[in-house]
Amino acid sequence: MRAIVVGAGEVGFDVARLLAIEEHDVVVIDRDAAALSRLSDKLDVMTVLGNGTSASVLQDAGAADAVLLVAVTTIDEVNLVACMLADRLGCKRTIARVRSGEISGSESVLSTADFGIDVVIHPEESAAAEVELLILRAGASDIVPLADGKLHLIGLRLGEDSPVAGMSLEEFGQRYPKPAIRVVAIVRGIRTILPRGRDTLRKNDVVFVACLPKHAPHVLEVMGKKDQRIDRIMIIGGTPVAAQVARRLGGAKNRQIKLVEADRDRAQVLSEELGQVLVIHGEPTDLDLLVTEGMPDMDAVITLTEDEESNLVSCLLAKHLGVSKTVALLSKPAYIPISQSIGLDSAVNLKLAISREVMASLRGQHVMSVASLRGVDAEVLEIQAQPGSPATRGPLAELTPPAEVLIAGVLHDGHVSVATATTQIRPGDRAYVFVRHASVGAAETFFRGRG
């Protein structure tokens, strides 16, 4: 099936790579011949030189027969018009990356339907929301909300003195039966494990646990993590993500936020927009400046510049100065193991919000959404159980799900529960399923009804 990507930048490259892995007939459109050349050298995709807002260019790319068009240029207007034209030409589904809230806000004059857009993605907003959750749950290295935030996947690294290190999951379940929490994935080095009862937790494992949001403090406690309050925060960078993070975090009582921005004009604009934030003009890697402005006294340092190398260096400086919580904006896969080896606590990724929507569009009709996790060789599917499907034939203890498939939670009549041995999935329920990429088809079949 044909899929079109408008934009050959870093995000467009990542989307094209995902589509190519799924063995789609991928076409990438961009006005930059050099960008297209770099992309075609690394991926088995076709390229079209031209503007995504041109109907003739979209026709040359095969929009009339395309199952999906993803517009991810850096210009909102190009993404909107490309989706609108593709929809008129017959493309079955369109996804647009949009930074502005002009067409998605409650008071917008125009709606996504007016542009023929099926899904609007705000990656900057998603990244800012993730940073906010990581600051609120300081002991976690990852937090992924599912079921509209009713279920959380909490990732954390087991320390040398973790009380659960050396404990099998059977022992873990017996010692901590309530409230219901479930270990759904273990990352050990470069290996991802979807664990069963006999698997053992080890120090330095990155463990992902499914729980209700109100039980997150309990999860951190049993894993040996402190969920300390964070009041003094330094944000490095004045990007749109940084501005959104400052707005989200700035309203809390007694919270002090400093933001460091290298560009003087941008710093001035942010100073006027963010009244509750102290904006400092200076280089993000200037150690003397950072020390003078109080980095050693911060509870958290968040690096959100567009230079990922600078983000890593600034976090390394923060750790060297004794800051307990560091968060960096990182999207390049090569930097993830580096960030973990230098002790970076958490990383957020702009590309994940886009890849989730793209992957959900590629899955079967009963897959409602897809979540990806940093450094995890698996994905989380939200799948609706169909009448007569194998998943509905008894409690989980009596079922045999496919290999490399693990059910984390279930949404039934608006109520979310963490999956346990006694959980019964009913037709129409939505299950949140950890699955290896190679087993996605088997997972869909497990929830698919007769016929």
Short-list 14, 364, 15, CA closest to 4: 15
What pLDDT is recorded for position 379?
Answer: 81
What pLDDT is recorded for position 233?
Answer: 95
Answer whether 232-349 and 378-447 agree in fold.
no
Please state the domain extents for the chain: 2-121, 139-222, 232-349, 378-447
**pLDDT tens profile 302-339:** 999 989 888 988 888 898 889 988 999 887 766 766 66
Split at pLDDT 50, 70, 90, the class of 74 is confident
**How far from 412 is each of 94, 210, 283, CA to CA, in Å?**
30, 16, 51
> What is the model's pTM?
0.75
Short-list 102, 128, 119, 104, CA closest to 240: 128
**How far from 402 is each of 133, 266, 405, 439, 443, CA to CA, in Å?**
33, 53, 6, 8, 7
Mean pLDDT confidence for 152-170: 89
pLDDT surpassing 90 at residue 212: yes
Short-list 391, 399, 378, 371, CA closest to 148: 371
Q: Token match 């050396």: residue? A: 166
- Residue range 378-447 in CATH 3.30.70.1450: yes
What pLDDT is recorded for position 392?
Answer: 93
pLDDT surpassing 80 at residue 156: yes
Strand locations in 262-366, DSSP E?
278-281, 300-303, 325-329, 346-348
How far is it, in rounded angstroms, from Cα 349 to Cα 8?
18
Q: CATH assignment of 139-222, given 3.40.930.10, 3.30.1120.10, 3.30.70.1450, 1.10.230.10?
A: 3.30.70.1450
Class of domain 2-121: alpha beta
**pLDDT tens profile 132-149:** 888 888 778 888 888 888
What pLDDT is recorded for position 251?
Answer: 74
Q: Amino acid letter at 133?
A: L
Q: Which CATH architecture has domain 232-349?
A: 3-Layer(aba) Sandwich (3.40)
What pLDDT is recorded for position 100?
Answer: 66
Q: Amino acid letter at 279?
A: V
pLDDT surpassing 90 at residue 245: yes
Q: Amino acid letter at 372?
A: S
Mean pLDDT confidence for 241-250: 91
pLDDT surpassing 70 at residue 361: no
How far is it, in rounded angstroms, from Cα 440 to Cα 430?
16
Split at pLDDT 50, 70, 90, the class of 81 is very high
The overall average pLDDT reported for the chain is 86
What pLDDT is recorded for position 8?
Answer: 92
